[in-house]
Amino acid sequence: MVSSKELLPRESLLWIFAAQFVALLPQFTQLPLWVAFAWAFAVYWRLEVFRGRRDLPGRTLRLAVIVLTITGLALSYRHWFALEPMIALLAISFTLKNLELVSRRDAFVSLLLAYFVSATLFVQEQTIPYALYGLLCVWVITAALAAQLGSSSARPRRALGISVRLLAQATPLMVLLFLALPRLGPLWSVPQDTSAGRTGVSDSMAPGDFTELSKSTKPTLRISFDGPIPPPEQRYWRGLVYSEFDGRTWRQGFGVDPHNGGRVYWKTGERLLPQMGPRYRYQVIQEASRSPWLFALAQPASETQGVGETADDRLVKRTPVYSRFAYEVRSWPRETLQAPVSLSNAERRLNLQLPSFGNNRTREWMASLRNQGLSAESVSTQLLAHFNSAFTYTLKPPALGADSVDEFLFASQQGFCEHFAGSYVFAMRAAGIPARVVAGYQGGEWVSGEEYLLVREYDAHAWAEIWFDGRGWQRVDPTAAVAPERVRNGLESAAGEEFLQESFFPLHRIGVLSKLRLKWDMINYRWYQTVVSFDADRQQNYLRRLLGEVSPLRMALLFAVPTLIILLGIGLWIARSANGRKLPPAERLYQRFCQRMARVGVRRRPGEAPQDYARRIASEKPQLADYANAVTAAFEQAAYGGDSSAQKTLRKLLRWHFWLRRTATDSRELVGL
Amino acid sequence: MSLASAGKRVTIQSCACGLKKLSSNGFTVQKIVSAIVSDIGSVLLGKERQVKLSLACLLSKGHLLIEDLPGMGKTTLAHALAQVLGLSYKRVQFTSDMLPADILGVSIFDRESSQFHFHEGPVFSQVLLADEINRSSPKTQSALLEAMEERQVSIDGETRALPQPFFVIATQNPLQQSGTFALPESQLDRFLMRISLGYPSREAERALYLGADPRQQLAVLKARINVATLSKMQSLVGQVKTSDSLLDYLERLVLQTRQSPDCAVGLSPRGALALLRAAKAWTLIHNRSHVLPEDIQAVFPAVAGHRLQRDGSHGEQLVERLLRQVDVIAA
């Protein structure tokens, strides 16, 4: 092995750069572009050093580069104490290490750091492609490490081969650690950069928002049921409640938004749960949305850590959903519960709020209805009948002016769910009936024989809830009055031609591809279920299933038994290979003969051939001459003459002698024979 | 005496049976060998082992180097071998002013026929005794050694095959003597075996004094075999079998020559092959079909001695030590 003081050869350098590139590639897409340039520059400089055209940068230059990059980071990121700037700092330090890559030791530091850098990949996502890419990183980095051992191991095929073998050997340990290593919760959490765009339903609703969502096929929720499954027309996944309207945009408003006075019950049992058991139990796996809203059927309760229930029957997460998040939900449909007695004054005020001016035509129409003394149900029915009479459900509604509700209700009469829900709630409030807009997702698609329900972005939906005295909040979906197939069969059947029209490749039209996509989603789902979401709880469950009870002794056994088996295997293997080939049977038998003769007093010398030995035995112990000759002849036949029957004879001779030795008190008795 | 007891059918006789006899078309190797050895033994008294070794060397198509003081019977051995085997025999006395043409032959212009006629040198014979080979210059030595290796000579651009079989018995005086050029290792390697005759025992010497003149006795020696039989016997050497255990021993022995600090250079693969071939011939002479470790041990000093020797010493102790160091049975 080359000494660590020696300069790095060309192959080593190239391998290190390859490993760095593989580890940094995903970061380049996330980090500011100049980080990639900095890396390329450092690599270029180092190669120039290798060619002898340049020196490694001196102390002053290095200091200047460090100051420069830190300034660059400071300018690129506003908030310092967040995950992304930290990753950027790591990446840039890793990059600059190239400028002092001199000895083998530096190479090892750089490559070990490369493992760490490649692990930051999983901060972004933990899906299968990312996991595969992580494997690729580990493969290349390990190969680069192997290539440092010498020029013969630096050949690509050989280095990658060594790497594969090392990784294969490490796999059992990895599986063991994955299953058994205690999972600690995060000791501290670094806030993630929130500047990046949120996806999914947002905390406000303006005309056109949902139209945008309808263009995206990204999966959002995956819901698997434990027990009964709600019928399609009941699958309203509530996420947000909008109570405040400013004439154009619906917002949550004070007292509804958890960040703005809304009450959230974080602890289990803080809120009184219904006495009876829940009708639906399910697990929701939600994709990263960068907002805290969770989605569940009314009225939900969850015991998952960090999930709280709001007073208006929603679930929220304490921190925004930055990566896939799974939560268990129990739901009691409202009709199965006892109706709440009354609405508090504050709530009533909140859900009757209207802007002080605008949309006068609607207000007048509603005022006339109210003056007729109609009940809430009949007002709602009239309004829905109005929708049903002439309205069109379309993904491309015309633009609306200042009095958006008036224009929609009486002029354009074309719209999407947000138009229907918004104008419906506006009208109901104008009629003096407490109402609110609820946003979330509706419907979903079964994957792999009802294993789970896949909800995509285009399933985003807005609907209304109105308050009936004595019956509580009731869901009303005005869209269903116009396009009932939207609720029953999903957006695709309701929007028809318009569905995903703007997508460049209308892949959804190709049945095979749709099926493949569902299949892929299912693989992803299983991956998440089995690997990514293997947290402390699941680990405990798994270990309990495996061990019966999780005790230190049993854990130690779980670790020790496979380790011992592996070590034993290695030990045996080493012992076998150290012994070389096994001694042929004839030679083994002859060795036994030699041992016996040695006991009698004639020890065979190492270089002594069997016949010479037999002659010596004959001269030193004449009484054993015949026996020695017989054994020698049989041995020579067996070992050198290729005669297998001689081996039997040899064995018999030795056994026979053994038998004689036992019966005879003294070996001298042999003489008598 | 039988060790068999009641109920046991194992007897010493039944296991002590010899290895299979090798025989071919009406002649037995045993008979021929014993006739040859006793014939030569009648002229070269008490040197049965050396006679057998040189016979083995001949049977395995190798060349023989005899190293000894003058007057020890080197020439007698070579001459007797040629006589008994029915081969043509020529002798060349090497001197320091010899030229290659003196051995290989020369083309002479014949005036009558106006043509060059090639006059064969002494190398064109079946048994060539190259006496005191180390007294000639390296140039002449190498001309002979070339012929030994290729079994043909190229003169005046024409390649001429040497007679079959072609067997060189070279003698050399101990290197300490004056007027000698040492054979380089590469040329020593051309000789399958190197033996030395040594002084005769007391009884042999007494018999020598009492007996007739060896020169006259040589003249009456009759050929025991012809060339055809000889080549048949040579082909029989290849049929001698070796077991895995024996090859293991050979391997260990060769490895020891390469690893032992006593040896400057180990045995080359060619040397190892030579060892195996000589051992097979030795086995054949002793009328067995399978090589035994004893066979290897018997030929090892003759085959390996000159290949392993260092500083002109006679390597005998070295070879004996190697044989003692390597276990015959795998440990």
Q: What pLDDT score does A67 carry? A: 92
Q: Which residues of A are catalytic, by number?
A: 417, 461, 477
Q: Which helix (H) or strand (E) holds B192?
A: strand B191-195
B294 → closest Cβ in A609, A641, A673:
A609
3-state SS, residue B95: coil
Contact B297 A629 (CB under 8 A): no
User: What CATH number has the domain bearing residue B192?
Assistant: 3.40.50.300
Q: Confirm if A132 and A531 have CB atoms less than 8 A apart.
A: no
d(CA A334, CA A299): 6
In this structure, the answer to whether residues B242 and B228 fall within a common structural domain is no
Q: Could you tell me which chain A residue has the CA closest to the CA of B8? A: A656
Q: Which among B128, B223, B131, B145 has a CA at the least distance from the CA of B184?
A: B145
Would you say residue B2 has pLDDT above 60? no
Q: How would residue B14 be classed by pLDDT, with cut points 50, 70 and 90?
A: very low
d(CA A181, CA A523): 25
| Residues in A touching B301 (Cβ below 8 Å) | none
In this structure, the answer to whether residues B187 and B72 fall within a common structural domain is yes
Contact B14 A611 (CB under 8 A): no
- Per-residue pLDDT tens over the stretch B204-242: 888 888 877 777 777 788 888 888 888 888 888 888 888
| Residues in B touching A673 (Cβ below 8 Å) | 1, 3, 5
In this structure, the answer to whether residues B230 and B253 fall within a common structural domain is no
In this structure, the answer to whether residues B21 and B91 fall within a common structural domain is yes
Contact A626 B10 (CB under 8 A): no
Is residue B3 assigned to a domain? no
Contact B1 A642 (CB under 8 A): no
Q: What pLDDT score does B20 carry? A: 44
- Per-residue pLDDT tens over the stretch A411-428: 888 888 888 888 999 999
- Over the range A634-672, which residues count as b (16 or more CB within 10 Å of their CB) and which as e? bbbbbbbbbbeebbebbbebbebbeebeeeeeebeebee
Q: Domain tally for chain B?
A: 2
* Residue ranges in chain A modelled with pLDDT below 50: 1-5, 193-197, 662-663, 665-673
User: What CATH number has the domain bearing residue B310?
Assistant: 1.10.8.80
Q: Which among A287, A292, A291 has a CA at the least distance from the CA of A309?
A: A292
In this structure, the answer to whether residues B41 and B179 fall within a common structural domain is yes
Is residue B123 assigned to a domain? yes
Q: Write the DSSP symbol of residue B191.
A: E
Is residue B7 assigned to a domain? no
Is residue B116 assigned to a domain? yes
Is residue B1 assigned to a domain? no
Residue that terminates a domain, selected from B237, B268, B286 = B237
pTM: 0.48
Backbone angles phi, psi at A435, to 5 degrees: -150, 160
Is residue B24 assigned to a domain? yes
In this structure, the answer to whether residues B228 and B309 fall within a common structural domain is no
Side chain identity at A424, as an amino acid letter?
Y
Distance from CA of B327 to the nearest CA of A (A): 4
A629 → closest Cβ in B16, B19, B241:
B16
Q: What pLDDT score does A666 carry? A: 46
B294 → closest Cβ in A611, A626, A629:
A611
Q: What pLDDT score does A414 carry? A: 85
Is residue B4 assigned to a domain? no
Long-range contacts of A607-615 (CB under 8 A, 24+ apart): A607/B297, A607/B323, A607/B324, A607/B325, A607/B326, A607/B327, A607/B328, A608/B328, A609/B292, A609/B293, A609/B294, A609/B297, A609/B328, A610/A635, A610/A636, A610/B292, A610/B293, A610/B294, A610/B328, A610/B329, A611/A636, A611/B292, A611/B294, A612/B294
Distance from CA of B319 to the nearest CA of A (A): 12
Strand residue runs (E) in A365-434: 392-393, 414-415
In this structure, the answer to whether residues B172 and B182 fall within a common structural domain is yes
Residue that terminates a domain, selected from B237, B258, B274 = B237
CA A545 to chain centre: 23
In this structure, the answer to whether residues B129 and B46 fall within a common structural domain is yes
Backbone angles phi, psi at A473, to 5 degrees: -75, 130
Q: What pLDDT score does A5 carry? A: 46
Residue that terminates a domain, selected from B221, B237, B253 = B237
Contact A636 B327 (CB under 8 A): no
Q: Could you tell me which chain A residue has the CA closest to the CA of B241? A: A641
In this structure, the answer to whether residues B283 and B325 fall within a common structural domain is yes
Q: Chain B window 251-310: which residues touch A at a Cβ cutoff of 8 Å?
A: 289-294, 297
Token pair 């330090």 in the structure block, residue: A93
A587 → closest Cβ in B16, B245, B292:
B245
Q: Which among A334, A340, A266, A257 has a CA at the least distance from the CA of A298?
A: A334
B328 → closest Cβ in A583, A607, A633:
A607
| Residues in A touching B290 (Cβ below 8 Å) | 636, 640-642
**Quick one: angle between helices A128-147 and A511-527, nearest 10?**
60
Q: What pLDDT score does A516 carry? A: 83
d(CA A207, CA A397): 9
In this structure, the answer to whether residues B102 and B70 fall within a common structural domain is yes
- Per-residue pLDDT tens over the stretch A246-297: 888 888 887 777 777 778 888 766 777 777 777 889 989 888 887 888 999 8
Residue A470 backbone class (left: φ over 0; alpha: ψ -120 to 50; beta: rest): left
Token pair 């354009």 in the structure block, residue: A412
CA B207 to chain centre: 26
According to DSSP H, which parts of chain B are helical?
12-15, 29-43, 48-59, 74-85, 100-104, 138-150, 185-188, 202-210, 214-220, 227-239, 244-259, 269-285, 293-308, 316-325
Q: Confirm if A396 and A498 have CB atoms less than 8 A apart.
A: yes
> What percentage of chain B reaches a pLDDT higher than 90?
5
| Domain spans, chain A | 10-189, 204-503, 551-581, 585-670
Say yes or no: B14 contacts chain A, CB-CB below 8 A.
Answer: yes
Contact A611 B292 (CB under 8 A): yes
| Residues in B touching A611 (Cβ below 8 Å) | 292, 294
Is residue B141 assigned to a domain? yes
Q: Which domain holds residue B224?
A: 12-237
Q: Which two tokens stand for residue B46?
A: 């008490």
